[in-house]
A = this chain, B = another copy of it.
Amino acid sequence: MNESNVKSRKRVAIVGATGYSGAELTAIMARHAEVELVALFSSSSTARGPVTPTLPQFIAEPFSIDALIAAQPEIVFLATPNEVSAGLAPQLLDLGMRVIDLSGAFRLEEPSMYPTWYGFDHERPNLLGEAVYGLTEYCNGELKNARLVANPGCYPTSILLALRPLTFAIDREQPVICDSKSGVSGAGKKADVNFSFAELFGNFKAYSVGQHRHEPEIRQQLHLGDRAPVVFVAHLLPVHRGILSTIHIGFTHPMSEQQITDAYTRAYDHAPFVRVLPAGQLPELKNVVNTPRAEIGFQLLHGGRRAVIVSVLDNLLKGAASQAVQNFNRMCGFPETEALI
């Protein structure tokens, strides 16, 4: 870090720094040349302690609003549970801070969906209209002045990056099948026998079929219309990190490899963190774990009338922390890749 520009650095705080995503976020922001990390808070712990054992030099304090205010941050990252974010973000906005929320509290546009999918009522439903859905590659000027960014869910990011460039060609009469598999860190730090090593080693299973909170988020952001039969199935993969989504779609007209490649090129030619593989080549999880990158590959089937698309990313990075930093960089006018490569 260059000491000469300390004055001009953005003052940043992180709440929830001790969770898996929060710790990744802390590590990234600590090497950001344009940032001064003025406060790190855990969201649940009552004792101060290291953000994570791999970052013993960073200490998180138990959260208090007074301590946060005293630190005078300009931008606050919330890596907190949904309900905590829903309550805290409005307070911070009222204090004039900008907020990047990594939870699901501001991702859905329709307030009435919160009781159903998240189990709580939104006290400030108007913020749902204001919040920018931060799928960075699909944001333009709106991040520049955003007060509140809803950082996308990990599963939705993997699916939306794969499908958004192809929506023009997708047959909405046929089901869009999103068969996703995630590493266990996606569930957070848990004292739960169902997430114990002894139960998950060598195991694999689907979960929350038809009931996963990311499903309405995916539908909303796919822009395929209400009638499109989207199916989302999440699975628990016995690895620490990473999401792989296998997506099955039909087209209204047979597509060529070149047409698909062109569509992806148009979408991501200038996207530093999305890599599209040559036609017929499919990505694997290990190539993106511990990186801020998503990779996408596809295979045409049935004479181009269908495709299998495979998308991979690290759920804690492109699925959470590094995408939040992409959004932060855009909000502040910094290069999108700052601190990320």
Residue numbers of A with Cβ under 8 A of B are 20, 53-54, 56, 174-175, 177, 179, 181, 184-185, 187, 189-193, 195-207, 209-210, 229, 231, 233, 235, 237-242, 244, 246, 248, 250, 275, 282-291, 299, 301-302, 305-306, 308, 310
Contact residues of A: prevailing secondary structure: mixed
Q: Is the CB of B209 within 8 A of A181?
A: no
Q: Is the CB of B196 within 8 A of A191?
A: yes
A244 to B207, CA, bound (A): 13
Q: What 13 additional pairs, Cβ within 8 angstroms, besides A201-B239, A206-B308?
A: A177-B177, A181-B235, A191-B192, A195-B196, A197-B238, A202-B242, A204-B237, A206-B282, A206-B310, A209-B308, A210-B301, A231-B308, A235-B244
Q: Is the CB of A229 within 8 A of B306?
A: yes
* Distance to closest chain B CB from A49 (angstroms): 13
Q: Is the CB of A239 within 8 A of B204?
A: yes
Q: Is the CB of A291 within 8 A of B54?
A: yes
A229 to B241, CA, bound (A): 33
Q: Is the CB of B196 within 8 A of A189?
A: yes
* Distance to closest chain B CB from A319 (angstroms): 15
Asked if A231 meets B248 with Cβ closer than 8 Å, knowing A185-B198, A193-B191, A282-B209, the reply is: yes
Q: Is the CB of A282 within 8 A of B248?
A: no
B contact residues around A20 at 8 Å (CB): 198
A175 to B171, CA, bound (A): 12
- Indicate which residue in B54, B181, B207, B289 contacts A287 across the interface (CB closer than 8 Å): B54
A175 to B305, CA, bound (A): 11
Q: 21 A-B Cβ contacts within 8 A?
A: A20-B198, A54-B287, A56-B275, A174-B175, A177-B248, A181-B181, A184-B196, A187-B198, A189-B199, A195-B198, A197-B240, A201-B202, A201-B238, A202-B202, A202-B285, A205-B282, A206-B282, A206-B310, A209-B282, A229-B305, A235-B246
